[in-house]
Structures are given as structure tokens and as C-alpha cells.
Amino acid sequence: MQELQNMVEHKEGFKNILVLNCGSSSLKYEVYKMPHRQSLGKGLIERIGEKVGKLVQTTDKGEIRLERPIPDHGVAMEIMAKAVVDPEKGILYSLSMIDGIGHRVVHGGEKYSSSVQIDADVIRALEENIELAPLHNPPNLTGIRESQRLFPGLRQVGVFDTAFHQTMPPAAYLYGIPREFYDKYRIRRYGFHGTSHRFVSARAMELLKRNPENTNVITCHLGNGASITAIEAGKSIDTSMGFTPLEGLMMGTRSGDIDPAIIPFLEERGYSSKEVLNILNKKSGLLGMSGISNDLRDIEKAAEEGNQRAVEALDVYAQKVRKYIAAYCADLVKVDAIIFTGGIGQNGFKMRERICHRLENIGIVMDYEENRKNQSKEGAVSMKYSPITILIIPTNEELQIAMDVFEILFKPTDAMKRRSTDVYF
């Protein structure tokens, strides 16, 4: 019955969007029915290129689990396609019901300030940006090329992590280094997590019933990777990540901001530049400071048991976030809301308390009882008299990608807008 309904709706103009996030050894996917913004099912393929790969797909019909060798992304895409149309637990009746594909792409460089339909020029630009994102753009390109092979003629859209931050002024994106490094090598601050910051800031406008044109917000995407963005009138004017995702906040395993002279200091003591970079990216942050884990829950448990290194790791994390919030409050002049999202931002109610404590003097007044009661649900956790509203908003980058694909490829008619008003925010 559900399959029949999906087919009827598909004929009536509703679109099924396949969202792909292709990593170096993984493939994450989800199918959305638009403009309903309804997830029909999602899956994750891991350990691509290893001895045994793994697929887990979940729909309202149940779960598909599969373990087998998955030598490359081409095979992963074929496995995904079969799972999507599985007769018993599939997402769709037929692959022909997929109307468009959206790709999460990490680095669009300076060329793209919004999502775009993928063509030869876009692919060429992504290839040119490989030097800026050597770990991410190659698998993103692989996902695009394999989609072209598996779904010939189907239109695709690229959604860039960096695009939202292309509105930053030179004062925010230029480094205090010789200008020739920017002119020759494009060394500047690009920022990341843009799709998440864009999604939660737009959702905040719905919750606050405000127009972005006269609203300023600070979005805190706090997870294993973390970044903060200052958004003025709907546009990013500064963000904590820079030339790479290593700059900015202390994160799960990344150091965040450090004195750059530390790098040659360690190299003089026998560490290679590659080793230092690996330490700063994968062995620092909460993991490196605590010596316990990069999982906030493990560190909070250890802190409660009296582990001093865990306590210090939590304090450093909160202090770094608080510093960026305060700096952006000064830069924006007027701030209407602070938004917490990401795994830690949404679920770490104790960390939210640590961060907001001592920010009362700049108008950020948390309702600690509401914060603990709310835990991770969407909504406000500030005192009613707080000049700046504190919001928890779950992020959904996959949905934002599906929304972009629908907007770019299938701009809805007025008739469809009227029929679907009950499913929009």
C-alpha cells in the first residue's frame, strides 16, 4: 500500500531525492520525499577497501545488514542501489523513482557561494580544489562519478561545506601573512560545517518568528568536529575554522588554535612535520588532554569520579567556545540568539551549562532548570528575560542538501506550495 502511494505521489509531482555523502572509506546515503521533507530511509556503508565491508540500512520496513568485501566505491554504490530497491525492506520500488541526487562536497574554494547543479565545469573546479582538501574532495568526486555511471542522465547537485562562508569579508578571511601567499596559493580562511550552520540558523528564524534581514545569531556546531559562526542578516561574517578544519575550537581529537611556533619546536625534538600534523588532528583535543577518550560522555563520567585531567579538558573546551561566542558578540554588536547543535551542542546539557556560565554579563542568561529538563529537544533554554535567546536545534545536513536539490532542480509551483504547506517548517 505504501509503495503504491509513493508511486502515485511520484506521478503527481513529488520528488524523491537521493542524498550522498562519500568519504574515503564510507558511503552515507538517505532518500527524501520532497517537498514533504520526509526521510524514506537511510543507510551507511563502511570499511570500503578493507577485507570485510559493512552495510546497515534502516527504513520503517525494518533493517538490512550486510557484511562482505567492498573493494571500492563503485561496488559500494551498486550495493547501495540494490538495498534501496530491496523487495522486502527497500526504500523505493524502483531506482527510476529517484529524481535527483545531492552530494555533500567539502571544499568549493572561492568559486561557489551556493549549491549548484553539477556539470563538467563544477567537476573541474573540484579537481582544482583537491590541494585544499586532499582527504575529502577525491572521495566526493568519486561519489559524483559513480553516480553518473550508475544513474546516467540523472541531474546532480553539489552542496559545499565552504559555500555558506563565502560571504565573509576580507577582514575575517585573510591571515596576517604576506599577501602573496593568498594571491599565489589561495591561503585564506574558508570555514566548514556551512550546511549545518545554514540549516540551524534558518530553523531559528522559524522558531523565533523573525526575519533574517534584521536578526543576528551565533551558531555553535559542537561535535567531534566543532565550529562557531557569526551570522549577520542571514550571512556568515566570521567562523572559527580556517584554511583547514584544524583551526578554531578544541575538538574531539583536534587541537584547534595553537601557537604556530609549537610545530617547529616539536620538529627540532625529532618529530616529523607529518607526525606533528597527525598529532594535532587525531591525538589532541579532548582525547589528548584527558588521556581517556574523545567522547564527551566518557570524560564527564571520569570528571565526576575526580579525574583532574578530565576536569581540565572539560574546562578548556568550554572556555574556548565561550571565548569565540564573546568575540562574535562584540563583532556583531547586536545578537538575538545563540544556537547549540551537533552531537555535543544538542545532547551535552552539562557542557552547555559550562559554556554559558559567565556569559550573563553580555546578555546570555541560561535557564539551568529548563536546560536540564530539555536535555536534547528542540527549543529555548534561556531565561525569559534574557536579552539573547539560547536555542537547541538539531541539525540535519542531509535534509538541507535535499532542500537545495529540490530548489535547484524542481522549483515548486504555486499549486504544489499550497498542497504542501503542512509539511514545511
Rounded Cα–Cα distance for residues 17 and 407 (Å)? 11
Region 243-252: mean pLDDT is 97
In degrees, rounded to 5, the angle at the alpha carbon of residue 10 between the alpha carbons of residues 6 and 16 is 85
- What pLDDT, on a 0 to 100 scale, did the predictor assign at position 414? 46
Structure confidence by residue, pLDDT tens digits, 53-64: 999 999 999 999
pLDDT tens per residue across span 18-40: 999 998 899 999 999 999 999 99
Helix (H) or strand (E) holding 299: helix 296-304
Pairing of strands 216-222, 337-341: parallel
Give the mean pLDDT of 264-289: 97
Q: How far apart are CA 235 and CA 106, in angstroms?
A: 19
Which percentage of the chain shows pLDDT scores above 90? 90
Q: Tell me if 195 sits within 8 A of 107, measured CB to CB.
A: no
Is residue 50 over pLDDT 90?
yes
Distance CA 218, CA 200 (A): 10
CB 393 within 8 A of CB 341: yes
Q: What is the pLDDT of residue 391?
A: 98
Q: Report the mean per-residue pLDDT for the chain.
A: 93
The closest alpha carbon to 203, from 191, 188, 215, 193, belongs to 215
Mean pLDDT highest for which of 123-137, 196-210, 408-422?
196-210
| pLDDT tens-digit readout, 157-184 | 999 999 999 999 999 999 999 999 999 9
Q: Tell me the C-alpha distance between 343 and 240, whole Å.
A: 18
- Quick one: cell of 74? 563503485
What does each C-alpha distance from 348 to 342, 344, 383 come to in angstroms? Answer: 9, 5, 19
> Active-site positions?
161
Does pLDDT of 425 surpass 90?
no
Alpha-carbon torsion (332, 335, 337, 340), positive or negative: positive
Q: What is the Cα gyration radius of the chain? A: 22
Flag whether pLDDT at 208 surpasses 50: yes
Q: In what order do the strands lie in the sheet with 62-68?
A: 62-68, 53-59, 38-46, 27-34, 15-22, 98-105, 156-160, 116-117
Give 102's strand partners.
19, 157
Residue 11 has pLDDT above 60, yes or no: no
